[in-house]
Amino acid sequence: MKEMISPLASAVSLAYRRGQEDETLEPHVLRDSRDIPIGRFQNGDAVIFYNIRGEREIELTRSFTEKNFRPFPVASGLNLRFATLVEYAADLNVLVAFPPAEPLSDTLGETLSRLGIRQARIVEAEKAYHVGFFLNGKKEDPLPFEERVVVPTRKDVRLFDEAPEMSVAGVADAVVEKIRDEDVRFIFANFANVDVVGHIENESAVLRAVEAVDTALGKTVAAARRAGMTVLLTADHGTVEKWRYEDGTIDTGHTASPVPFVLVDAAKGFSLRGRGELADVAPTVLQLLGIAQPAAMTGQTLIDALPAGFRPRERLLMILMDGWGYREETRDNLIAKARTPAMDSLMSACPRAVLAAAGEAVGLPPGTVGNSEAGHLHIGAGRRVPSDRVRIEQAIADGSFFRNPVFRRVLNEATAAERAVHLMGIVSFFSSHGSIEHLFALMELAKREEVRDLFIHAMLGRRGELPESGARYLSQIEERCRRLGVGKVASVIGRYWSMDREENWDRIEKTYRMLVYGEGIPVTDERR
C-alpha cells in the first residue's frame, strides 16, 4: 500500500525550507488535476468559523456577512450559511452555536461608574479590545465616566521584532497627561510590548521590549508619586519568563506562571497576602478607594494590613504589563535577563505578591496557560468566570455538542441544497483562539450528519507551539479525514493574514481571495 501524504502538509514543510514560518505563511491552495482550486466558498455553502475568543475574528467574518461591506471588493451574490462557535460581536449577521451567558455585572468599571468616578483606560491599539471589552466583562461600549485613550499601533513594520518598543512611549505620555488631570481618579494603563514581541522568536527584540516597558514604568510611576497617587502593578499572564522548552527549543507562547503584584504608596505599613489570583485585583482596588465590594465579586482583597490611620485614596493608577510573568528561576528567563531597574527597585522596596494567572484561576481547564482575554476579564470582574473553552469541552464530553441546533441547521440545510460545508479556524493544540479538538468534533459531527463535501481551511500560528508544528497538525487533520471518510484540507494560511484586529484590510483581503477565488500558492493533490 502506498503511503498517504498530506499535500498541504508537504507544501508547508517546503515553505519552512524557504524561510517561511507558520504565523506569516503565505496562502496555499489545493488544486485538482485540471488546476482548479478545490473547496472555494460558493453561493449557498455553509461556513463554520470555529475559533473562540473573538476580537481577531471579527474582520474576516464581516467580509463574508456584512451587507454593503466597503473595506475591499467582495463577491456579489455570495450568500453563505455562516455560523460561529461563539459570539465575536453582537452586531454580526451570523448564527452563534454557543451564545454568551449574560454579560457580567458589577465589574470594577461598573462599580466606579455608578459612583460617578472618572476613569481613563490607556492602551495602544494592539490591546484596545482588552482594556475595553474584556475588562468591562465583555461589554463593548464605554461606561459613563469612562474615557478610552487609544494610542495608534505602528503600521510601518511587518512584525514587532522590527520595532520592539512599539508605541509604549506614547502610552506612557498619555498616562502622565491623565495623571495631571486631577478629575480622573482611576487610570488603567496597558503596556503591550512583552506579550506582543514575546510571540516572536527573537531574543534580542524581546529584551528590548521588556526594557522599553521598564522605562515606561519608571516614567509613569514617578509621575504618579509626584501627584500623590497610589500605584498598582500587575500583569495578565506570563510569556517570556519561560523562554525555552526542556529540550532547548524556544517557547513563544504564554505560560502558566503567576504574575507579580506590587503596591506603591507613600505610606508605610501596608502588607499583602503572599499569594492570590487575578480575581483579587478588583477587590483590592475598591478597598484602596474606600468603596464597598459588590456581592457579585467573590475575589478577596490582597491587603492583609493597612497603615495606621489609613484613609481611602483619592486617586489610583493601575499599570498592567501585558505578558510579564513571574518566575524565580533565572535560567531561560528573559524578564530576569533584561535590564529592569525601575521594576527591580519597586519589587525590592514595596509590598508585593504573586497572583495565579492561568488554569482554573482564570476560568480555564487545569494546567492551561493564561492569556490576555482571561487575564483582563478576571482583573475587571473580581471573580472567576468560566471560559468558552470549558463550556465547549463540556459539551463535547456530554454529547450535547453533536446535538447543537445551530450546527445541525447549517449542516442539514447545506446538505439538502447539495452545497459544501467549510470549517475554518486556528489549527493548534490549543491557543486562546481555539483548539484542534474543536475542529475534530465538528468533523465527527459532519460525518454523523452525512455531509458529503467537507473542506477545511486552516490558519496557522506558532504561538506556544513547537517550531514547524503547522505541517504536523495538517497531517493529523488529513489522517482524521481518512479515518472518518469525509473532509479534505483545501487551504492553509498564517494567522497574520486571517486574524487581524487593526483594520489592516490588505491582510484580510488576501485571506478572503484565497477562500473565494482560490488565490494562493498552488498545491497539486498528488499521492505517492
pLDDT digits (tens, 9 = 90+) for 331-342: 999 999 999 999
The domain in which residue 414 lies consists of 7-99+390-524
Q: Is residue 373 part of a domain?
A: yes
Residues 199/155, Cβ–Cβ less than 8 Å: no
Give the model confidence (pLDDT) of 179-222 as tens digits: 999 999 999 999 999 999 999 889 999 999 999 999 999 999 99
Q: How far apart are CA 10 and CA 203, in angstroms?
A: 29
Q: Is residue 1 part of a domain?
A: no
Amino acid 112: pLDDT: 98
Is the pLDDT at 428 greater than 90? The verdict is: no
Going by the DSSP 8-state scheme, the letter that residue 290 receives in this structure is: T
Residues 223/315, Cβ–Cβ less than 8 Å: no
Is 124 in the same domain as 55? no
Amino acid 253: pLDDT: 86
Domain boundary among 368, 384, 400: 384
Amino acid 469: pLDDT: 84
Give the model confidence (pLDDT) of 20-35 as tens digits: 888 899 999 999 989 9
Amino acid 171: pLDDT: 98
Give me the CATH number covering residue 275.
3.40.720.10
For the purposes of burial, counting CB atoms within 10 Å of the CB of 483, is it exposed (0-12), middle (13-18) or buried (19 or more)?
A: exposed
Is 352 in the same domain as 426? no
> What pLDDT band is residue 390 in, cutting at 50, 70 and 90?
confident
> What pLDDT band is residue 387 in, cutting at 50, 70 and 90?
confident
Q: How far apart are CA 153 and CA 155, in angstroms?
A: 6
Is 436 in the same domain as 303? no
Residues 235/321, Cβ–Cβ less than 8 Å: yes
Is 88 in the same domain as 146? no
Is 260 in the same domain as 380? yes
Amino acid 121: pLDDT: 98
Alpha helices by DSSP H, listed for 449-522, are: 469-484, 495-498, 505-517
Residue with cell 488565490: 519
Is the pLDDT at 129 greater than 50? The verdict is: yes
pTM for the predicted model, two decimal places: 0.79
| Torsion angle in degrees (nearest 10) through CA of 128, 130, 135, 136 | 60
Domain boundary among 384, 404, 425: 384
> What pLDDT band is residue 464 in, cutting at 50, 70 and 90?
low
Give the model confidence (pLDDT) of 467-511 as tens digits: 678 899 999 999 999 999 999 999 999 999 999 988 999 999 999
* pLDDT mean over 441-457: 96
Q: Under 8 Å CB-to-CB from 67, ≥6 apart: which residues? A: 93
Which cell numbers hold the place of 92? Answer: 454580526
User: Number of folded domains in the chain?
Assistant: 2
Is the pLDDT at 111 greater than 50? The verdict is: yes
Is the pLDDT at 451 greater than 60? The verdict is: yes
Amino acid 528: pLDDT: 38
Q: Are strands 275-277 and 95-98 parallel, antiparallel or unpaired?
A: unpaired
Residues 434/17, Cβ–Cβ less than 8 Å: no
> What pLDDT band is residue 430 in, cutting at 50, 70 and 90?
low
Give me the CATH number covering residue 428.
3.40.1450.10
Q: Is residue 2 part of a domain?
A: no
Residues 239/272, Cβ–Cβ less than 8 Å: no
Please report, as a single letter, which amino acid is at residue 289: L
Which cell numbers hold the place of 522? Answer: 498552488
Does 348 or 159 have the greater pLDDT score? Answer: 348
For 448, half-sphere exposure in the C-beta direction (CA atoms, 13 angstrom radius) is 13
Is 445 in the same domain as 333? no
Residues 188/120, Cβ–Cβ less than 8 Å: yes
E strands of 322-444, at which residues? Answer: 352-356, 421-426
Q: How far apart are CA 217 and CA 195, in angstroms?
A: 16
Residues 454/488, Cβ–Cβ less than 8 Å: yes
